[in-house]
A and B are shown apart, each in its own frame.
Chain A
Amino acid sequence: MNALIVAGLLLVLLGVAYQSGWSRSRALATANGVKVHSRPQYHGSYVAIWAMIPALVILLLWAWLGGGFTRDYIVSQIPQETVLALDQAGLNATVGRIQAIASGYGVVGEVQPYEQAAGAALRSFQFLSFAIVLVLAAVAGGGALLYARSRINARLRARNAVERVVGVVLLVCSAVAILTTVGIVASLITEAIRFFTFIHPFDFFFGTVWAPNNAGTGGHYGSYGLLPLLSGTLMITAIAMLVAVPVGLMAAIYLSQYAPHQLRAVAKPIIEILAGIPTIVFGFFALVTVGPFLRDMGNFVGLSINATSALTAGVVMGIMIIPFVSSLSDDILNQVPRTLRDGAYGLGATQSETIRNVLLPAALPGIVGAFLLAVSRAIGETMIVVLAAGNAPVLRGNPFEPVATITVSIVNQLTGDTDFTGPQSLVGFALGLTLFVITLGLNIVALYIVRRFREQYE
């Protein structure tokens, strides 16, 4: 209700301000035929911006501080001896009761006379304070409106003023992207530093045992060695690359060099569907279909393959990355100048010889860049690994056994836990920082390579 009134007030103010600026400007233009610097809608916007700013500031101030004022007022209405007799929780309960009485909803149980009185007083206080704030906002907005309106004349550069405001708004929006990065880096680093006050960085980065004491029993924290997680991450990433790079690269080569137009028009979007499928779906696919299939295949040839293993997660992650590799490679192959290809054909090379001996070497830096981007994506992938890698944080080299990765451990250590007090949850941020640094490094190198490659052929 109150929010609706406030929104209504702001809308009315906006409309009135715009209209008054606009009509004033029209009057100027038609009255004596002078040349007005700005068009009427800019004068309207100019007045509207002037009117909105003080009104918004007052309302925001009240939204920020109003709750505290109201509470202070309620407490002041409760008799002194009652306040002293209550603890914090009891006081909160009493304040809640008084608010319920004031809202007309009523409370269960006997109403103390002081509660009744305080409720009535609160009611008028709330009404009065809201009315005062509203009137203040309206008066301030109206005053600014009149001031801005009075400034309107033929020489006022309203358009420039409005455009400056627009420019500032645009600048603030692009700052959000910077702030996100700052937020990520700051939160990861501060929480990771808190983690390192519990666990020595050396034990974290070079420890070979991952056994956090999540229950917190026995007075020790457990061990937090990164290496088992890192090895699991790298093993799964390597398997994923073994699947994705040959298939993705060959698919890109075939589609861009050989495929008839119709096949390309059909196959390309279908492969790109893979890129749009949520990773949780791949995880489910890995868990219920690929894992059991690989296990049965293993039994068939006499290998013991776990249904949830590095292999399962890696293969499915590879499938997920195929479109990523193929569309990046496709872009890069298309950037190699036609003249190189035509030269090779002119010398009598076959199509595959041209591709292998001319096109691919020329495109190699770009393809390496694409490869690194794919690696970075595989390292950061979470849901497939959570579901299908088996979560066994042990240092081992057998891809047929369950493993755990950095991302899985972040999910395990942080899910549902938000009081970041012990190393059990804080380690999530240290892992996150490691992940962030690795992927950032890969991305920077990859983007640099790709950019250099593009410049080479521009």
Chain B
Amino acid sequence: MATDTLSTVEASTERTRKIRASLRRRHLSEAIFRALGLAAIIVALGFVALLFIDVFRKGIPAFVQSNLHLSVTFSPEVIDVGPAPALADFPSQAEYQAASLAWQRQVAMLNWNQIIEASLREAAPEGFEIDSRQILSIPETNARHQVREMFVANPSLLGQTVNVDVLASANADNWIKGNINRDLGDAQQQLSPPARTLIDAFVDNGTITSGFAWSILTNVDSRSAPAAAGLLGAFVGTLYMMLIVIVLAVPIGVAAAIYLEEFAPKSRLTDLIEVNINNLAAVPSIVFGLLGAAVFINWMHLPISAPLVGGLVLTLMTLPTIIIATRGALLGVSPALRQAALGMGASKTQMVFHHVLPVTFPSILTATILGVAHALGETAPLLLIGMKAFVASVPATPLDQATALPVQIYLWQGNENRNFFEPRTAAAIMVLLAVMILLNGVAIYLRSRLEKRS
């Protein structure tokens, strides 16, 4: 009897010990599991931080650019052309245009580099020895166009001396910023030794200063003058596409959602449409590019590389998102509201348009902005409809050749002058991200504001 009690007590302490031991193990595994979860969060957040820090670290220096302050003399010896033609002297507009173009061709044939070179030599230290090819590698190649355009716009500059700011070339900018290793041998340097010395002298005497790189925002893309390459053309192209997406995708998407949610009879067909829309939302974007290339360009013969086609493709891509979001919002409207409207004698259409739709307005607006922001960053379908063509002008209409911000990023990252274009690409990414963050911010702000009101 006594031994029995003893063994029971023993057994009980034994069990407690086992439970304690297993509890320790279980609590340890609990802690490990929890730590793994926390680690996953930290990893995910770390990736976000890394991505942003990396892009900003690379991109911010590109927003500072070297400028050359020159005093340019429009010397009559070099600029040897007649006066510009005047409209009054010609019988028709076309004749005037032709004469004017011929004059501009003459102006373009002049050796503007000579004028640039003279002003550079004037700014250089007394008696500095450098040949013309070397000294002309310091300003960007568009400097001569810039000076020529000043003259075309104002032929009375002939013989005068004016102060002109031109951009330093991409190679000079790399040298000044140290984007290229200054200790490399002459063979690996892009610039000749005298040019490098002269650039340093220019920096010292204030001919070259650094300033905010407005060219990124105000210029169009350029191949011959990389330092002057900017995003304006791509930005306008993107803007046209966004307008087309908003004008087409929002009304069509909302109308389709209303039909499917409120009016469509529950049948096989509406089931099919529903499955179809869910699947469309998950179709890879590049397939929409194939659709655009085959249908809009090859079959309908719409212009290639045009924002119109890009906008249509992105509209089709955004539609499912807007339809799904609007349906969700309509589904969330309380049945009491519908029944009250119907009870007061409203027709179904009146109930939907006068009572249900206004309530869902904040959600639809947010979904629309997010959908548009998503379309804004899309690259792959645009490549297939020819929007990766090099376009050196701002598209005047949605039917002109254009490119888009993400495609411009794609084009720049492939540029051979990596030292210069890697920061510039990162800067372009910053602009794109800024636009997207702005859109998302607007969406969040509007949602919170409108929801508070209703």
Tell me the A residues contacting B by CB distance below 8 Å. 100, 104-108, 159, 163, 166-167, 169-171, 173-174, 176-178, 180-181, 183-184, 187-188, 190-191, 246-251, 253-255, 257-259, 263, 267, 270-271, 273-274, 276-285, 287-289, 319, 322-323, 326, 350-353, 355-356, 373, 376-377, 379-383, 386-387, 407, 410-411, 414-416, 418, 420, 428-429, 432, 435-436, 439-440, 443-444, 447
Q: Which of A249, A278, A285, A420 contacts B378 (CB 8 A)?
A: A278
New contact pairs (10) apart from A247-B40, A263-B41, CB-CB < 8 Å: A167-B263, A177-B273, A181-B276, A254-B38, A278-B378, A282-B51, A284-B55, A288-B422, A386-B380, A411-B380
Q: Which residue of B lies closest to A373 (CB)?
A: B282
A440 in contact with B40 (CB, 8 Å): no
Give min CB distance, A358 to chain B, whole Å.
14
A284 in contact with B425 (CB, 8 Å): yes
Interface string of B253-287 (1 = CB under 8 A from A): 10111111001100000000101111110111111
Give min CB distance, A279 to chain B, whole Å.
7
Q: Which residue of A lies closest to B40 (CB)?
A: A250
Give min CB distance, B384 to chain A, whole Å.
5
A381 in contact with B291 (CB, 8 Å): no
Give min CB distance, A265 to chain B, whole Å.
13
Q: Which residue of B lies closest to A413 (CB)?
A: B384
B259 in contact with A418 (CB, 8 Å): no
Q: Which residues of A contact B289 (CB under 8 A)?
A: 414
A254 in contact with B41 (CB, 8 Å): yes
Q: Which residues of B contact A187 (CB under 8 A)?
A: 290-291, 294-295, 299
Could you jot down 13 A-B contacts, CB within 8 Å?
A163-B348, A173-B252, A180-B291, A184-B288, A250-B40, A251-B37, A277-B433, A278-B432, A380-B283, A380-B284, A428-B384, A435-B287, A443-B282
Q: How far is the CA of A387 from the CA of B278 in the complex (A)?
A: 29
Q: Which residues of B contact A282 (CB under 8 A)?
A: 51
B37 in contact with A411 (CB, 8 Å): no
Residue B30 lies at the interface, judged by CB distance under 8 Å to chain A? yes
The 4 A-B residue pairs whose C-beta atoms are closest, nearest first, are: A380-B284, A278-B377, A106-B92, A254-B37
Residue B60 lies at the interface, judged by CB distance under 8 Å to chain A? no
Residue B48 lies at the interface, judged by CB distance under 8 Å to chain A? yes
Interface of A is mostly: helix
Residue B293 lies at the interface, judged by CB distance under 8 Å to chain A? yes
Q: How far is the CA of A377 from the CA of B380 in the complex (A)?
A: 14
Residue B395 lies at the interface, judged by CB distance under 8 Å to chain A? no
Q: Which residues of B contact A383 (CB under 8 A)?
A: 379-380, 406, 410
Given contacts A174-B273, A284-B425, contact A418 B298 (CB under 8 A): yes
A178 in contact with B273 (CB, 8 Å): yes
A177 in contact with B44 (CB, 8 Å): no
B94 in contact with A108 (CB, 8 Å): yes
Q: Which stretch of B8-16, B316-324, B336-344 is in the interface?
A: B316-324
B276 in contact with A178 (CB, 8 Å): yes
Give min CB distance, A450 to chain B, whole Å.
10
Q: Which residues of A contact B44 (CB under 8 A)?
A: 247-248, 251, 267, 271, 274, 322-323, 326
Q: Which residue of B lies closest to A323 (CB)?
A: B44
Q: Which residues of A contact B293 (CB under 8 A)?
A: 414, 418
A352 in contact with B33 (CB, 8 Å): yes
B41 in contact with A259 (CB, 8 Å): yes
Q: Which of B48, B94, B286 contacts A380 (CB 8 A)?
A: B286
Give min CB distance, B304 to chain A, whole Å.
6
Q: Which residue of A lies closest to B276 (CB)?
A: A181
Q: Which of B30, B251, B260, B425 contacts A174 (CB 8 A)?
A: B260
Q: Which of A177, A289, A352 contacts B29 (CB 8 A)?
A: A352
Given contacts A170-B256, A410-B286, contact A280 B379 (CB under 8 A): yes
Q: How far is the CA of A102 from the CA of B251 in the complex (A)?
A: 40
B384 in contact with A415 (CB, 8 Å): yes
A170 in contact with B295 (CB, 8 Å): no
B282 in contact with A280 (CB, 8 Å): no
Residue B182 lies at the interface, judged by CB distance under 8 Å to chain A? no
Total number of B residues with any Cβ neighbor in A under 8 Å: 96
A281 in contact with B51 (CB, 8 Å): yes
Give min CB distance, A39 to chain B, whole Å.
10
A276 in contact with B374 (CB, 8 Å): yes
Give min CB distance, A213 to chain B, whole Å.
21
A440 in contact with B27 (CB, 8 Å): no
Residue B21 lies at the interface, judged by CB distance under 8 Å to chain A? no
Q: How far is the CA of A238 from the CA of B317 in the complex (A)?
A: 26
Interface string of B308-320 (1 = CB under 8 A from A): 0000000010011
B316 in contact with A382 (CB, 8 Å): no
Interface of B is mostly: helix
Q: How far is the CA of A248 from the CA of B95 in the complex (A)?
A: 69
A277 in contact with B377 (CB, 8 Å): yes
B30 in contact with A407 (CB, 8 Å): no
B377 in contact with A271 (CB, 8 Å): no
Q: Which of B33, B255, B298, B316 contacts A180 (CB 8 A)?
A: B316
B27 in contact with A350 (CB, 8 Å): yes
Q: How far is the CA of A177 from the CA of B30 in the complex (A)?
A: 49
Give min CB distance, A159 to chain B, whole Å.
6
Q: How far is the CA of A313 from the CA of B288 in the complex (A)?
A: 22
Q: Which residues of B contact A254 (CB under 8 A)?
A: 34, 37-38, 40-41
Given contacts A280-B409, A380-B285, contact A163 B349 (CB under 8 A): yes
A174 in contact with B256 (CB, 8 Å): yes
Given contacts A166-B349, A184-B291, A355-B33, contact A276 B273 (CB under 8 A): no
Q: How far is the CA of A283 from the CA of B407 in the complex (A)?
A: 12
Interface centre among B294, B295, B376, B413 (most CB of A within 10 A): B294
A106 in contact with B287 (CB, 8 Å): no
Q: How far is the CA of A250 from the CA of B50 in the complex (A)?
A: 20
Q: Which residue of B lies closest to A429 (CB)?
A: B290
Residue B396 lies at the interface, judged by CB distance under 8 Å to chain A? no
Docked complex: B13-70 residues within 8 A CB-CB of A? 26-27, 29-30, 33-34, 36-41, 43-45, 47-48, 50-51, 54-55, 58
Q: Which residues of A contact B97 (CB under 8 A)?
A: 108
Give min CB distance, A314 to chain B, whole Å.
14
Q: Which residues of B contact A429 (CB under 8 A)?
A: 290, 294
Interface centre among B44, B316, B429, B432 (most CB of A within 10 A): B44
Q: How far is the CA of A379 from the CA of B285 in the complex (A)?
A: 11
Q: Which of A105, A166, A432, A443 contacts B92 (CB 8 A)?
A: A105
Given contacts A258-B34, A428-B290, A447-B278, contact A439 B283 (CB under 8 A): yes
A106 in contact with B290 (CB, 8 Å): no
Q: Which of B47, B252, B298 contacts A319 (CB 8 A)?
A: B47
Residue B373 lies at the interface, judged by CB distance under 8 Å to chain A? yes
B319 in contact with A180 (CB, 8 Å): yes
Q: How far is the CA of A435 from the CA of B304 in the complex (A)?
A: 24
Given contacts A180-B280, A380-B284, A382-B285, contact A277 B349 (CB under 8 A): no
B380 in contact with A382 (CB, 8 Å): yes
Q: Which residue of A lies closest to B418 (CB)?
A: A288
Given contacts A184-B291, A288-B58, contact A177 B256 (CB under 8 A): yes
Q: Which of A106, A176, A377 contacts B282 (CB 8 A)?
A: A377
Give min CB distance, A424 to chain B, whole Å.
14
Q: Which residues of A contact B27 (CB under 8 A)?
A: 350
Q: Which residues of A contact B95 (CB under 8 A)?
A: 106, 108
A278 in contact with B406 (CB, 8 Å): yes
Q: How far is the CA of A247 from the CA of B284 in the complex (A)?
A: 24
Q: How far is the CA of A178 from the CA of B255 in the complex (A)?
A: 14
B379 in contact with A382 (CB, 8 Å): yes
Give min CB distance, A430 to chain B, whole Å.
11
B30 in contact with A251 (CB, 8 Å): no
Give min CB distance, B213 to chain A, whole Å.
19
Give min CB distance, A190 to chain B, whole Å.
8
